[in-house]
Structure 1
Amino acid sequence: MERVKVTIYTDPGCPFGFNAQRQELQLLWHYGERLDVTRMMIVLTEKSSSYEERGLKPEMVVANAKRLRASYGMPMLTEPRDRLVATIQACRAYVGARIHGDARADLLLRALRRRAFSLGQALDELETIYGASQDSGIAPEELDSWLADEFVERALREDMAATRAPLPEALALPQRLSRSNGGLRYSTASAVFERDDRRVVMPGFQPFAVYEVAVANVAADVERRPPPQSVEEVLAWAPYPLATAEVAELRGIGLDQAREELQRAGAKLVPAAGDGYWSAG
């Protein structure tokens, strides 16, 4: 049976993408074996800048971070950064891993996000990118070859172009898109679901229920895997340590109950940004 093609538009430096990891884990748990997922890099900005240059104030960015953390419970720092960082080099590193068919690409994206939002490291600094690559088992010389590869650069520019050419269904909901150089682009966590001649376009950050509706509309015969029955089952399945909010999302429970279940299970917590990441004990 043909698998469902899922294209997700994201960026390692976007706070909405960081928080959308909860919904994406749900998607992979319930339908992962029947999906082919491709993550396209938006590249929020190619050049680091001051807040003033972008017409922003630090307190605006801090307020948004606090709202997201309060809403979704992810381990996300809320202190102001000294600048708005370019994400192009981090995106280039991810695309390099992706187009070389490297299974570590999603581990790299996860590591970049964790370093940026939970540890406060800047994505426009090579030290951060090399650190994330080592977290993912990617040797520095491999990363160097990807960053200098003309095919990687071409693929990155194709990602950027596709992001800035939303499908008609997305353009019908301009309020769910973002502005870019006078035009519209997919906002972070936008997704397109396709199989055969069926297609559902999901612009913008959405709850997991919308992902489920999209899957049902393009592939009604795809069976939904039941929710996990324990945190042990979640941690054994996850390819990397999970935040409390991610475990809670997968289990369908609150943050406090998830934390209690994890502690009872003897899971190990690495603290970060007021919460942390759990792995099996």
Structure 2
Amino acid sequence: MSGALRGGAAPLVRVTEFTDPACPWAWGSEPSFRLLRHTLSEQAEWRTVFGILFDEDDDPPPDPDAEARWYDGFIRDVTVHTGAPYAHRLRRLTRTSWPASQAAKAAQSQGPETAERVLRRLRETTFVVGDPADSPEGVGHALRGTDGLDLPRLSRDLVARATRAAVGADRALARDPVPEVCGPQGPGPHSGQAKELTEGRRYALPTLLFDGAGGRVCVPGWRPFATYLEAAARAAGGPVPAPSPLSPEAAMERWPSLTGPELTLFTGASTPPDGAVRVDTAGGPLWLRPDEARTHPATRQPWRPYEL
């Protein structure tokens, strides 16, 4: 998001999103976060912090197939609450969050809309296709054909020392949660309480921090859209824009892919626009704009790595 309003005015609120491309609660929060970014638009400065859900030094599972089946079940349990689509089969547990996080971080230098599309594609590769983008080659496959993306540039930037350092700083920040999330457990199904780790604590993913003239407001865990909008107004110290319903056509023009919950939240309808390409998942359809469908990993199986 833009860091300033037209005319040079400061944004009303600054939003810090703690997330991970492989987090199912973050995937389920996409409808609310997409609408919030769209609604606040230039009134907000939005920062994405990658918390590294799966670290490089995590012990490998003794039985990878059993671990994948367990996590597949966990994803399905999460979607009972979020309504998000999920893959027919998770082929494996994400080996590490670093490559996808570095790709999403590197994409930020190509503009906010491109960065948004990149992170979304990386999420869909796990939760729609079931094949996590957890290597540079997997990232390349996931992102090939992403509208507006210079993929050769991203492939270079992904492995750059500065990108690695930026994600490392994100990881450290995610492990320094504010006191508000370190107390007793809040309401479920995703309380948002900071996760206890061997090395300390990490923000629950996702968590949003809102900062503005009204102070800081923390919204951890999975929450309804209205909770986020109210938090933005409290942090801003005054009114913020209210969402305006979009037509299905306008929603598909703005976002190249839409889940069922997104279609309903954005438009109040459940019928996609004419021409939308349906991708069936075990948890309902994902609708793709035709240009997105031509390059999306869900429509070009089997897996094939991107080569420069």
Using structure 2 for the length normalisation, give the TM-score. Answer: 0.78
How far does residue 78 in structure 1 lie from its aligned partner after superposition?
A: 5.0
RMSD: 2.6
Q: Check whether the contact 2:92–2:132 (CA below 8 A) recurs between aligned residues.
A: no
Equivalent residue number for residue 158 of structure 1: 169
Equivalent residue number for residue 41 of structure 2: 32
Deviation digits for residues 68-119 of structure 1, max 9, x if unmatched? 3333332211524334421111111111222x35331111101111111101
One-letter amino acid matched to 2:257 = P
Counterpart check, 1:106 vs 2:99: no
Secondary structure of 1:227 counterpart:
coil
Pair 51,148 (structure 1): closer, same or farther in 2 beyond 3 Å: closer
Deviation digits for residues 138-189 of structure 1, max 9, x if unmatched? 3343123212322111111110000000012222356622223341111111
Which is worse superposed, 20-29 or 159-168? 20-29
One-letter amino acid matched to 2:221 = G
One-letter amino acid matched to 2:278 = V
Equivalent residue number for residue 125 of structure 2: 115
Which is worse superposed, 6-15 or 163-172? 163-172
Pair 43,65 (structure 1): closer, same or farther in 2 beyond 3 Å: same
How far does residue 217 in structure 1 lie from its aligned partner after superposition?
A: 0.7
Which is worse superposed, 151-160 or 133-142? 133-142
Counterpart check, 1:239 vs 2:250: no
Which is worse superposed, 120-129 or 3-12? 120-129
* Richer in helix (by share): 1
- Identity between Structure 1 and Structure 2 (%): 21
Pair 229,140 (structure 1): closer, same or farther in 2 beyond 3 Å: closer
One-letter amino acid matched to 2:228 = Y
How many residue pairs match? The answer is 270
Equivalent residue number for residue 268 of structure 1: 276
Q: In the TM superposition, what are the counterparts of 1:196-235 in structure 2 within 5 Å? A: 196=213, 198-235=215-252
Counterpart check, 1:19 vs 2:28: yes
Q: Check whether the contact 1:22–1:245 (CA below 8 A) recurs between aligned residues.
A: yes
Q: Check whether the contact 2:94–2:132 (CA below 8 A) recurs between aligned residues.
A: no
Secondary structure of 2:153 counterpart:
helix
One-letter amino acid matched to 2:24 = P
Pair 75,201 (structure 1): closer, same or farther in 2 beyond 3 Å: same
Deviation digits for residues 218-238 of structure 1, max 9, x if unmatched? 1243332343153223223x2
Task: Give the whole-Å Cα distance in 2 for the aligned partners of 1:51 and 1:209.
Answer: 39
Equivalent residue number for residue 76 of structure 1: 86
How far does residue 63 in structure 1 lie from its aligned partner after superposition?
A: 2.6
Q: Check whether the contact 2:232–2:240 (CA below 8 A) recurs between aligned residues.
A: no
How far does residue 196 in structure 1 lie from its aligned partner after superposition?
A: 3.2
One-letter amino acid matched to 1:164 = R
Counterpart check, 1:88 vs 2:105: no
Task: Give the whole-Å Cα distance in 2 for the aligned partners of 1:280 and 1:131.
Answer: 19
Task: Give the whole-Å Cα distance in 2 for the aligned partners of 1:81 and 1:133.
Answer: 19
How far does residue 38 in structure 1 lie from its aligned partner after superposition?
A: 0.8
Structure 2: unaligned runs, 5 residues or longer: 1-8, 186-190, 292-308
Pair 79,152 (structure 1): closer, same or farther in 2 beyond 3 Å: same
Equivalent residue number for residue 204 of structure 2: 187
